[in-house]
A and B are shown apart, each in its own frame.
Chain A
Amino acid sequence: MAKRNGSAAGKKPAAATTQPILNVDGVTLQYKTKEHLITATYRVGFDVYPADRFVLLGPSGCGKSTVLKGIAGYMKPVEGSIRLKGREISEPGPDRVMVFQEFDQLLPWKTVKQNIIFALHNGGKTDTAAEAEDIAMEYITKVKLTGFEDTYPHMLSGGMKQRVAIARGMAMEPDVLLMDEPFAALDALTRLQMQKELLQLWEDTHFTVLFVTHSIEEALIVGSRILVMSPHPGQVKAELNAHHLNHDNVGDKKFVKVQQHIHDMLFADRILEDEIQAADRT
Chain B
Amino acid sequence: MSNVPNVLVRSEFEADEIGKAETGDVARKLTLFERISDMNSVRKLSILVLVIVAWEIYTRLSGVSELILPKFSATAEALYQAVMSEQLLAMVWNSMTVLVTGYAIGLAIATLLTTAATMSRFGNDVLSTLTAMLNPLPAIALLPLALLWFGLGADAIIFTLLHSVIWPVALNAHVGFMSVSETQRMVGRNYGLKGLVYVGKLLIPAAFPQILMGLKIGWAYAWRTLIAAELVFGGSISDTSEGASGGLGWFIFANQMDLQIAHVFAGLFTVILVGVFVENVIFNAIENRTVRRWGMQAR
Contacts and interface: CB of A to CB of B under 8 A. Distances in A.
A74 B185 CA distance: 11
B202 to A, nearest CB: 8
Interface string A136-153: 000000000000000011
Contacts of B290: 109
Interface in B267-299: 290, 293-296
Contact of A108 (B190, B193, B197, B295): B295
B243 interface: no
Interface string B186-215: 110111110001000110011010000000
A109 B186 CA distance: 16
Contacts of B184: 104-105, 107
Given A72-B190, A119-B191, A124-B192, A107 B295 contact: no
A109 B191 contact: no
A224 to B, nearest CB: 24
Contacts of A202: none
A119 B187 CA distance: 9
B181 A102 contact: yes
B149 to A, nearest CB: 42
A92 B189 contact: yes
A109 B202 CA distance: 10
A92 B294 contact: no
A100 B187 contact: yes
B294 A122 contact: no
Given A104-B181, A109-B290, A152-B293, A74 B189 contact: yes
Given A94-B191, A118-B191, A109 B205 contact: yes
A119 B191 CA distance: 6
Contacts of A72: 186, 190
A251 interface: no
A98 interface: yes
B294 A109 contact: yes
Interface string A72-99: 1010000000000000000111101110
Contact of B206 (A107, A152, A154, A155): A107
A188 to B, nearest CB: 22
A123 interface: yes
B187 A105 contact: yes
Nearest to A69: B186
Given A107-B184, A153-B295, A123 B191 contact: yes
A93 B192 contact: yes
A154 B191 contact: no
Contact of A122 (B181, B191, B293): B191
Nearest to A169: B190
A213 to B, nearest CB: 18
Nearest to A174: B190
A109 B211 CA distance: 14
B186 A92 contact: yes
Nearest to A125: B191
A98 B191 contact: no
Given A102-B181, A102-B183, A122-B201, A108 B294 contact: yes
A108 to B, nearest CB: 4
A119 B290 CA distance: 21
A249 B184 CA distance: 37
Contacts of A172: 191
Which of A72, A109, A118 has the most C-beta atoms of chain B within 10 angstroms of its own C-beta?
A109
Given A92-B192, A105-B187, A118-B191, 19 more contacts: A92-B190, A94-B192, A96-B190, A98-B186, A98-B187, A100-B183, A102-B181, A102-B183, A104-B181, A104-B184, A108-B296, A109-B296, A122-B191, A122-B193, A122-B197, A122-B201, A152-B294, A154-B294, A155-B295
8 contacts: A97-B191, A98-B187, A107-B187, A107-B202, A108-B294, A119-B191, A122-B193, A152-B295
